[in-house]
Amino acid sequence: MAVGRFAPTPSGALHVGNLRTAIVAWLFARSSGSAFRLRVDDLDPTTSRDDVAAAQLDDLRALGLDWDGPIVHQRDRTEAHGAAIAELVGRGLTYPCFCSRREILEASVAPHGEAPEGAYPGTCRELTGAEQADRVASGRRAALRLRTDGRTVTVIDRLRGPVTARVDDLVLRRVDGVPAYNLAVVVDDAVQGIGEVVRGDDLLLSSPRQAYLADLLGLAEVGYAHVPLVLAPDGRRLAKRDGAVTLADRRARGESPAQVRSMLAVSLGLAEPGEDVSMAALLDRFDPDGLPTDPWIWQLT
């Protein structure tokens, strides 16, 4: 049984795409008789808000989701993140990177779609000590990157099958000292005993990176299931500007959480339009092989 989880970032209200993914993650875990964990990925102090986190949890409860054990806050796990980074530094697997995000995007190349967007091209990998010192003297701050061998890694996704991507020199610690997303989620998933990560397919190509990093750290391998996103009618990722997309928005328009749950169930092929369906009923009907593999286009206003 693979323990599952949902790990929202408290930078804004959950929209229907986030809520839909949370329901699927819950169904994956509960259908296999597994525990379901809840983690708040609140590492970034500039965007994470406690009131937003509390509202997100209230929304999940209102839809009928429950979870096992205490809620974990990622910001409380920085000691473990630091220990993992120190291990990699001690093994000579890291180097400082002085590149800005813009410089990386302008220089990076992802041939044949085999690396995530913005994959690092290795600009700072072979800087000499003197070159590094020059950059520090000029006022540039450094992130810390993992020195990889550029190999391609394949993971098996339950919804997408084999997913292969080239692993670039990913960031382990940002220029502001905050542990990077890929490092933090790998460490925290391992500590929580997560066996299967269910999330949106915008993170699909991050999975080989995370599998590679977990292997380096001697952590248990996890499985993946990436759920197609909810898109705006023009094909963009769903955003607040696309209408009443949060649970609070839908409530303001007179819809109950049960009605929103039913709408999301219809989008997953688990209910008929207008059908009142509970989480227990969804669990009885759930078949991972029957989930849609195309994005759901948001048409409501």
Over residues 54-65, the pLDDT tens digits come to 999 999 999 999
Q: Do 246 and 166 share a structural domain? A: no
Residue 268 to residues 20, 226, 240, 260, 295, Cα–Cα distance (Å): 8, 14, 22, 13, 10
Q: Which domain holds residue 18?
A: 4-70+228-297
Structural domain contains residue 217: no
For residue 124, the domain's CATH number is 3.90.800.10
Structural domain contains residue 146: yes
Q: Do 171 and 98 share a structural domain? A: yes
With beta carbons less than 8 A apart as the criterion, state whether 228 and 201 touch. yes
pLDDT tens digits for the chain (301 residues)?
Answer: 679 999 999 999 999 999 999 999 999 999 999 999 999 999 999 999 999 999 999 999 999 999 999 999 999 999 999 999 999 999 999 999 999 888 887 776 544 445 566 688 889 999 999 999 999 999 999 999 999 988 999 999 999 999 999 999 999 999 999 999 999 999 999 999 999 999 999 999 999 999 999 999 999 999 999 999 999 888 888 877 777 789 999 999 999 999 999 999 999 999 999 999 999 999 999 999 999 999 999 886 5
With beta carbons less than 8 A apart as the criterion, state whether 61 and 29 touch. no
Question: Tokens in use for 278?
Answer: 């509970």
The pLDDT tens digits for 180-238 are 999 999 999 999 999 999 999 999 999 999 999 999 999 999 999 999 999 988 888 88
Q: Which of 181, 210, 237 is the last residue of a domain?
A: 181
Structural domain contains residue 191: no
Structural domain contains residue 202: no
Amino acid at 146: L
Helix and strand numbers, DSSP H then E, in the chain:
10, 12
Amino acid at 194: I
Q: Do 55 and 9 share a structural domain? A: yes
Q: Which helix (H) or strand (E) holds 72?
A: strand 72-73
- Count of domains in the chain? 2
Q: Do 63 and 85 share a structural domain? A: no
Structural domain contains residue 286: yes
C-alpha span between 93 and 281 (Å, rounded): 49
C-alpha span between 186 and 158 (Å, rounded): 19
